[in-house]
Amino acid sequence: MKYFGISDIGLVRHTNQDCYSITTNSVNDTLAIVCDGIGGGQSGDVASQTVAHYFSESFIKQKKFSSETEIKEWLNTTVNEINHFVLDLAKTKSVYNGMGTTLVAALCTDIGTFVLNVGDSRAYRLIYENLTCVTKDHTLVENLVDRGIISVADAFNHPQRHVLTNAVGIEDHIKIDIFSLKSDYDLLLLCSDGLHGFSTDEEIKQVLLSGDNEVSIAEALVKYANNKGGYDNITVVIIKGQS
């Protein structure tokens, strides 16, 4: 498997509150992470970097997993620990008040690939030129879609489409979605809403199919998002070579 990540400030924001990491541990498992900080100013940066660092450091110490159940338990336990760590950190400085971050991660093991999501950063899976979104956004608009109040098409242009209902570091109890990918894939994409918030899934797919390798694909996605206006920070991680 091959991996590559890139984070870009975009064309409008003055700071980059996104963060990503890709870590391979001693048993050759790999954890890829994308975080999109919230809270404004320095605090969004701190939240996203803290979560990515804590998660990666915990993963480095992890021994070989023996089962899918063990993997899911470790992911749940670790992310809950991270959530409380960020909550405690936010109490240490007034500037940190209200900080938090989205989190999407892919854990690649011999047992399989497991995707974790908190917030509205996403994971996409490409199989034989078919792109599907693995994760489900934790947003106000997604709730409206689920309840049948608005359509999926309406959601893309909804003025409140970026309002989160769940994030790391905001509440004591958070919703953690874990998805087990039962089949192989050609490519896995993790991204912040600086990409998917301004591009349709079909547009993202066409860019994914245009690249020759994980580096050119990642760079092309960032370029595409900036060409669409670059209204937010843009972070992508490409995982290639599972199929």
Break the chain into its structural domains and give their ranges: 2-240
The DSSP H or E segment spanning 221 is helix 214-227
Task: Give the DSSP per-residue string, 94-126.
Answer: GGGTT-EEEEEEEEE-SS-EEEEEESS-EEEEE
Cβ atoms of 234 and 190 within 8 Å: the answer is no
* Statement: residue 2 has pLDDT above 90: yes
By percentage, how much of the chain surpasses pLDDT 90? 83
Distance CA 11, CA 136 (A): 27
Of 35, 103, 36, 31, the residue nearest 74 (C-alpha): 31
The pLDDT score that the predictor gives to residue 8 is: 98
By percentage, how much of the chain surpasses pLDDT 70? 98
Residue with tokens 């990503």: 20
The structure's pTM equals 0.95
* Statement: residue 20 has pLDDT above 80: yes
CATH number of 2-240: 3.60.40.10
Distance CA 145, CA 154 (A): 9
The pLDDT score that the predictor gives to residue 156 is: 76
Residue with tokens 């669409």: 228
Tens of pLDDT along 116-138? 999 999 999 999 999 999 999 99
Q: pLDDT class for 241, splitting at 50, 70, 90?
A: low
The residues that bridge with 180 in the sheet, in sequence order, are 114
For the record, the structure tokens of 141 come out as 């608009």
Tens of pLDDT along 192-222? 999 999 999 999 999 999 988 999 999 999 9
The pLDDT score that the predictor gives to residue 41 is: 64
* Statement: residue 167 has pLDDT above 90: yes
The pLDDT score that the predictor gives to residue 158 is: 78
Give the residue, 154 or 232, on which the prediction is more confident: 232
- In angstroms, how far is the first alpha carbon of the chain from the final one? 9
Task: Assign 147 to helix, strand or coil.
Answer: coil
CB within 8 Å of 238: residues ≥ 6 apart: 3, 4, 5, 187, 188, 189, 214, 217, 218
Distance CA 181, CA 224 (A): 28
Distance CA 188, CA 231 (A): 24
The pLDDT score that the predictor gives to residue 154 is: 75
The pLDDT score that the predictor gives to residue 183 is: 81
Residue with tokens 């047992």: 111
Q: pLDDT class for 148, splitting at 50, 70, 90?
A: confident
* Statement: residue 242 has pLDDT above 60: no
The pLDDT score that the predictor gives to residue 231 is: 95
The DSSP H or E segment spanning 75 is helix 68-90
